[in-house]
Amino acid sequence: MLHRSYPTSRIVDKYEIQYGKIVTFMYPLSHFPTSFVYLPLNNFIPAMSLYDKIQTTAAFIQQKVKTQPKIGIILGSGLGGLVDLIEKELELPYGQVPNFPVSTVKGHSGSLVFGKIGGTEVMLMAGRFHYYEGYNMEEVTFPVRVMKALGVHTLMVSNASGGTNPGFTIGDLMIIKDHINLFPEHPLRGPNDDRLGTRFPDMGVAYDHELIELARQVAHEKCITVRSGIYIGLQGPTFETPAEYRWLHTIGGDAVGMSTVPEVIVARHAGIRVFAISVITDIGISDEPVTITHEEVLEAANAAAPKMAALVAGMVARIGN
Ligand code: HPA
């Protein structure tokens, strides 16, 4: 097929955009000699900017829901229990949300849920997008940016993680007080759009101290034991070797996982305050060789889900609208 340049002005009103992607282009036959009838347009039209994608998705959601959440929640592997506590207004499977990737991991149901917990409006991600699944950092963190566009000012993140602190036991809840980012790619790498946040965001207080204090209070009232510590985020998908678990402890980590850090960085970039909590689903540090499977991680997360749900729900109700 012949590829030729045509004046874009003649082309522009002929392409069709679906969620920012050109899906078809067929130039009217009459405009061409028969030898080049069909012209793919991908090289002509710039892709929608990240900012425009966020706005498109937020506008789509706003059309569908009455809930105006100020609190966003991301549920980690096996931690779906909180969904049952929501007075649900609407559930949108990710596949129906423009520009959202689709979650592929077993144990992640993959939908956005809107509603109220204890009278407070929330939007909740049941299932998240992991870097190890092949999504790029823009995709992994896209929902957080949409939350911001919808008016969210507080993000609560949960995850399943491996304990690198030998004092921890399986099933412990660990409030994340800081993190170490060992992902191979930074979610803010590339040109900065000042409409989304500043070029060099401060990370001195990534995890909000007031929210940590609130978590301790609510945990105390509900007789839930909580620990606190440093979360190390890395890409996975392998669990760590014994030497890596030991090293992660040596460099200051109490727990390690394959999520959370990118979302937290983007939330802080957007000026959203953050609370994050881990369920310790396995202990990597041991004198004996340990084998860790995804099934065991899910099982331990499921077992701890009710107390995690009670804690987060208590905090949400206290924060209010
Ligand atoms: N390592 C990394 N990610 C994890 C682990 C772990 O041990 N457990 C649950 N998620």
- For residue 260, the domain's CATH number is 3.40.50.1580
Residues 159 and 268 in one domain: yes
- Beta-ladder partners of 277: 158, 175
Residue 80 CB less than 6 A away from ligand 1: no
Residues 35 and 65 in one domain: no
Residues 33 and 90 in one domain: no
Span 180-203, pLDDT tens digits: 999 999 999 999 999 999 999 999
In a domain, 7, yes or no: no
Average pLDDT score, the chain: 85
Residue found under tokens 């990737």: 101
The range of the structural domain enclosing residue 26 comes to 13-47
Residue 297 CB less than 6 A away from ligand 1: yes
- pLDDT for the residue 105: 55
Please report which confidence band the pLDDT of residue 24 belongs to, taking 50, 70 and 90 as the band edges: very low
Burial class (CB in 10 A: 0-12, 13-18, 19+), 17: exposed
Hey, whose CA ends up nearest to atom 7 of ligand 1? Answer: 162
Span 93-118, pLDDT tens digits: 998 999 998 655 554 558 999 999 98
| pTM of the predicted structure, to 2 decimals | 0.84
Residue type, 119: G
Which three-class secondary structure state does DSSP give residue 114?
A: strand
Residues 201 and 232 in one domain: yes
Residues 164 and 253 in one domain: yes
The whole-angstrom separation of Cα 173 and Cα 171 is: 7
Q: Worst-scoring range by mean pLDDT, 91-95, 250-254, 275-279? A: 91-95
The continuous run of DSSP H or E covering 296 comes out as helix 294-319
Span 201-217, pLDDT tens digits: 999 999 999 999 999 99
Please report which confidence band the pLDDT of residue 35 belongs to, taking 50, 70 and 90 as the band edges: very low
Residue 67 CB less than 6 A away from ligand 1: no
The whole-angstrom separation of Cα 275 and Cα 25 is: 46
For residue 17, pLDDT over 80 is answered with: no
Dihedrals phi, psi of 140, to nearest 5 degrees? -55, -40
Residue 76 CB less than 6 A away from ligand 1: no
In a domain, 212, yes or no: yes
Residue found under tokens 């506008």: 59
C-beta of residue 230 within 8 angstroms of C-beta of residue 180: yes
Residues 77 and 211 in one domain: yes
Identify which of 237, 225, 231, 277 has the alpha carbon closest to the alpha carbon of residue 255.
231
> Which residues, at least 6 apart from 8, have a Cβ–Cβ distance to it below 8 Å?
44, 45
Residues 177 and 290 in one domain: yes
In a domain, 1, yes or no: no
Residue 162 CB less than 6 A away from ligand 1: yes
Residues 32 and 146 in one domain: no
- pLDDT for the residue 9: 34
Residues 73 and 181 in one domain: yes
> Ligand 1, residues 234, 246, 258, 278: which to mutate, most atoms within 8 A of Cβ?
258
Q: How many domains does the chain have?
A: 2
Residues 151 and 252 in one domain: yes
Name the most confidently modeled range: 12-26, 218-232, 281-295.
218-232
- pLDDT for the residue 195: 97
Residue type, 59: A
Please report which confidence band the pLDDT of residue 147 belongs to, taking 50, 70 and 90 as the band edges: very high
Q: What is the mean pLDDT of residues 31-58?
A: 70
Q: What is the mean pLDDT of residues 295-308?
A: 84
Residues 56 and 196 in one domain: yes
Span 310-319, pLDDT tens digits: 999 999 999 9
For residue 149, pLDDT over 60 is answered with: yes
Per the model's pLDDT, the better-predicted residue between 134 and 15 turns out to be 134
C-alpha distances out from residue 118 to 9, 34, 104, 211, Å: 54, 66, 31, 17
Tokens read off for 44? 């002509």
Å from CA of 270 to ligand 1 middle? 27
The ligand 1 atom at the shortest distance from the C-alpha of residue 297 is: 9
- pLDDT for the residue 129: 92
Please report which confidence band the pLDDT of residue 156 belongs to, taking 50, 70 and 90 as the band edges: very high
Tally the C-alpha atoms within 13 A of residue 293's C-alpha that lie toward its C-beta.
4
- pLDDT for the residue 182: 98
Residue 257 CB less than 6 A away from ligand 1: yes
